[in-house]
Homo-oligomer: A and B are copies of this chain.
Amino acid sequence: MERQSTQRLREELRQTKPFPSRAQEAYLALLRTVDELRRRSSVLMARHDVSLEQYNVLRILRGAGAAGLPTLEIAGRMVERQPGVTRLLDKLEAKGLVDRVRCKEDRRQVLCTLTEAGRTLLASLDGPVDESSQRSFGALRPEALETLVEYLDRIRYPELYP
């Protein structure tokens, strides 16, 4: 089990030396896994001429409903920083997938909403995305998935788990 996966990771990296520590082995496995997952879903998005990151923005906006969301709020729900989100929105607006309107109540904010085109594009991606996700995570039982999420939480917030 463990020995097997260590072996495979070593082969994958074509590395002869053992890992300096288990922690670093886990770190590399994390990087590789996320990269692989990104690649798998990017293929789906590419067919609709949006990037994975643009897709994530669209999905957040759909979750927010008709009221829309200000830019900073979108950034808060993503991994990226504000400037990156502004630039993503620039592109999405140019493609007609998102509307941006300066908020009447607070003219500093810019409210972003999905256009009809954006909603349609998202809808056509729902099936494929879900299938791909099931394919990737299907090898883990629900309890394993739960454990995985807990472990990842611990890594992100080590101070909460002494």
Which residues from chain A sit less than 8 Å from chain B, CB to CB? 1-2, 5-10, 13-15, 17, 20-27, 29-37, 62-63, 65, 73, 76-77, 79, 123, 126, 130, 133-140, 142, 144-158, 160-162
Oligomeric state, in number of copies? 2
- Minimum CB distance partner of A36 in chain B: B156
Decide if the interface of chain A is mainly helix, strand, loop or mixed.
helix
Q: A2–B149 contact, CB under 8 A?
A: yes
Complex partner residue of A135 from B26, B30, B158, CB under 8 angstroms: B158
In the complex, 27 of the A-B residue pairs with CB atoms within 8 angstroms, ordered by the A residue number, are: A5-B153, A7-B126, A9-B149, A9-B153, A10-B126, A13-B77, A14-B63, A14-B73, A14-B76, A15-B63, A17-B63, A21-B130, A21-B134, A22-B142, A23-B137, A23-B138, A26-B149, A30-B33, A31-B34, A33-B152, A35-B79, A36-B155, A36-B156, A139-B161, A139-B162, A140-B155, A148-B148
Q: Are A136 and B150 CB-contacts (below 8 A) given A20-B130, A30-B37?
A: no
